């Protein structure tokens, strides 16, 4: 059976049984989504990279504890979000950091050959990231999972370890705070 045919759950079980390459394959499969969650949750790419590294170390250590209550990707997202929130609480960073210059990694931008539209999308992305940084960590995490990553409220509540009503409340408050900050933004 090839790595592509192996499920995430099988990979995690193989890793727990001693196959180090299984965890590496699991990370390869999901590194882009995990990175996106960390980057959107944290205030800087450096902090996101550190949080993601902390999360992957934690996941590797806790692989034997995975019960299968949620999808492996959901379990990994929860660990990443928790690592990000722990790092934010620990650092209590309030200063604005420079925005990442990796707009070329955004898939929508790679498909668009119109330079004006591409520039507008880059600017819109920067505005959204800057606005997200003004939210508290709990609201930002909920909005990233629900509005940007497409998780349901129930899935986000599992990832963040709180009630669905709490996720709804955090999203509503976060959206209310974002609305005036992004009033000037329109889709190109």
Q: Is residue 188 part of a domain?
A: no
More reliable by pLDDT, 98 or 28: 28
Asked which of 117-126, 150-159, 162-171 is least confident by mean pLDDT, the reply is 117-126
Which string of DSSP letters, residue by residue, matches 80-143?
HHHHHHHHHHHH---S--PPPS-GGG-HHHHT---HHHHHHHHHHHHHHHHHHTTS-HHHHHHH
Q: Is residue 23 part of a domain?
A: yes
The predicted pLDDT at position 113 comes to 65
Residues 101-143: pLDDT tens digits? 444 444 444 455 677 777 778 888 888 888 888 899 899 999 9
Q: How many domains does the chain fold into?
A: 1
More reliable by pLDDT, 84 or 112: 84
pLDDT(163) > 90: yes
Q: Is residue 156 part of a domain?
A: yes
Q: What is the pTM of this model?
A: 0.60
Q: Which domain holds residue 84?
A: 3-181
Q: Is residue 187 part of a domain?
A: no
CATH code where residue 83 lies: 1.10.1740.10
Q: Is residue 186 part of a domain?
A: no
Q: Is residue 78 part of a domain?
A: yes
């Amino acid at each position: 059976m090839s790595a592509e045919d192996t499920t995430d759950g099988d990979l995690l079980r193989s890793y727990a049984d001693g196959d180090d390459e299984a965890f590496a394959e699991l990370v390869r499969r999901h590194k882009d989504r995990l990175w996106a969650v960390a980057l959107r949750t944290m205030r800087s790419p450096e902090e996101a990279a550190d949080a993601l590294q902390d999360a992957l170390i934690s996941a590797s250590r806790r692989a034997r504890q995975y019960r299968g209550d949620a999808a492996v990707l959901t379990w990994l997202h929860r660990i990443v979000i928790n690592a990000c929130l722990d790092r934010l609480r620990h650092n209590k960073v309030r200063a604005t950091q420079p925005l990442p210059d990796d707009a070329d990694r955004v898939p929508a931008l790679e498909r668009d050959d119109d330079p004006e539209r591409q520039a507008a999308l880059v600017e819109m992305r920067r505005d959204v990231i800057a606005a997200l940084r003004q939210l508290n960590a709990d609201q930002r995490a909920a909005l990233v999972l629900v509005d940007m990553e497409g998780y349901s409220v129930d899935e986000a509540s599992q990832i963040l370890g709180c009630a669905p009503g709490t996720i709804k409340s955090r999203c509503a408050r976060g959206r209310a705070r974002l609305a005036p900050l992004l009033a000037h933004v329109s889709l190109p």
